[in-house]
Structure formats: C-alpha cells, structure tokens
Amino acid sequence: MKKITWCPGCGNFGILRAFKNTIKRLVEEGHEVGKFVVASGIGCHGKIADYIELPSFHVIHGRVIPFLTGLKLANPELVAIGFAGDGDQYNEGLDHLIHAARRNVNITVFVHNNGVFGLTTGQFTATTPKGKVTRTTPRGNPEIPLNPVMLALVSGATFVARGYAGKLNQLEEIMYKAILHEGFSFVDILQPCVSFNDTWSYYNKKVVSVEKPAKSLEEAMKIASSNEIYTGIIYEERRETLEEFLKIK
C-alpha cells in the first residue's frame, strides 16, 4: 500500500477506518475477501483505493458507477463497491447516479461529500452551500446546493443513507448493511475538508441520528428535506435488481 497523503484531520481517515472495519467484519462472517472489488474516482477520496488491500481500480472523473455496473454484469458474483467525491459524483457523474438507482443494479456507492473540490484547491461543487466564498466564487456561491439524499430517493434507490466521518460506529453499521443490501445502495457521507471547507464543528453540533429506516418513501422524503441533518439508514426496500431481471444471477 502507498503512504497516506491526506491532510492531517481530513474526514477521509474516518471513512477509510470505517470501511476497513466493515470488510474485516464481513470476512469474519464468512464472506470471501477476493470477491470484494473497489473502484474510486478522481479527487482526494480516490486515493482510498491505494490504502486498502483489495482488488481496486481508479476510474476517470465521474465514472465510478458505470464501471461498477459493467463489472457486476460481467461477473455477478463480485461485490462491487464504489467511492466517489461530491464533485466527482454530483457534478461530472450525476446522471449515472440517477440511472443506476432506476435500474437497481446491485452495487454500493459511498460518496465523500465535503462540499468542495479539495484536490484542485477549493472550487465549489453541486453541494457547496449558497453564499459560501470559494476560490471560484469570490462573491459567494450563487447556486442552491443539491440534496443528494432526496435525489437518490426520487430516482428509485432501494437503500439510501447518510453517514458522517465523525460518527464511526454508525458509519460502519451503515456500510455493513449497504454492502449486504440486494440492489442499489447509496450512502452520502459528510466528510469535512480541513483545508478548504472545515465543517467538523458545524456537523458535530448539527448531526442527528435516525433510529431506523423510514416506513415509507414519503416519510423518507420528509427526513431528507428536513432542516435537521439526519444520519443513518433513511430508506430501504427490496425490489427486483437489474441482474435478476436479466436472469444473470
């Protein structure tokens, strides 16, 4: 493995630790380690593929989901797991998220959402708050931010969750259940960027846990659109996967 080069205090450390613990738990329960395959996109988050001992791929900007979809259709026995950044997934790769949710392909996507393009030194992304001053918005971001959880819900994702890099036990449980879910699993992970968007103090005060998934899509939409910042598994349902429809599983 390569030397970790993330900034000290980066939220990516928590995500990496939670993922390693999750894989360890799954292997201890009998899952074959060689069947886990990871893809990561472009950005600081993308380095995670260098820091784990699993078959891993770096893919081009915004293309984590189509890569994993092809991988899964070619070999449905593999456990396909993706890591993307907010700029990577919600800007360059936004349409892939929508269509993967509609198809319910059996893959898992973790999005490191720090609300900024960190690797390229702080440009605004689709989840940057309106009014925030960044290197490309010196007068403040003029756009309202995307709500990734609401987008995943209305697009048809069958597992929708929000995690926080500062709540490791909860994040590990979310990752564990997301990977085991049969269908498209989407997890937006709040990940402070200490260099260009340090939100540790803000999230530590604002994040609230949901105790259990919503009983209906309507209830999940209310949670997702709340002024509170809820973390946990927000919605889960069982629906025919793309592989089952194609009869390749």
213, 39 contact by CB (below 8 A): no
Residue 47 within any structural domain of the chain:
yes
pLDDT for res 24: 98
User: Assign residue 183 a region: left if phi > 0, alpha if psi is -120 to 50, beta otherwise?
Assistant: left
Q: pTM here?
A: 0.97
Residue at 35 is within a domain:
yes
Asked whether residue 189 is assigned to any structural domain, the reply reads: yes
Is residue 148 within 8 Å of residue 94, measured between CB atoms? no
In a domain, 152, yes or no: yes
Distance between CA atoms of residues 116 and 113, nearest Å? 8
185 in a structural domain: yes
pLDDT along the chain (249 residues), means of 10: 94 98 98 97 96 95 97 97 97 97 98 96 96 96 97 98 98 98 98 97 97 96 96 98 94
Backbone dihedral region for residue 97 (phi beyond 0: left; psi -120 to 50: alpha; all else: beta): alpha
The answer as to whether 1 is a domain residue is no
Within a domain: 95: yes
Domain count for the chain, please give it: 1
The domain in which residue 213 lies consists of 11-246
SS3 for 231? strand
Q: Are 172 and 18 in contact (CB under 8 A)?
A: yes
Residue 6 lies in a domain: no
Give the pLDDT confidence score for residue 175 in this predicted structure: 98
**pLDDT at residue number 231:** 98
For residue 40, the domain's CATH number is 3.40.50.970
Task: Report the pLDDT value the prediction gives residue 249, as an integer from 0 to 100.
Answer: 76
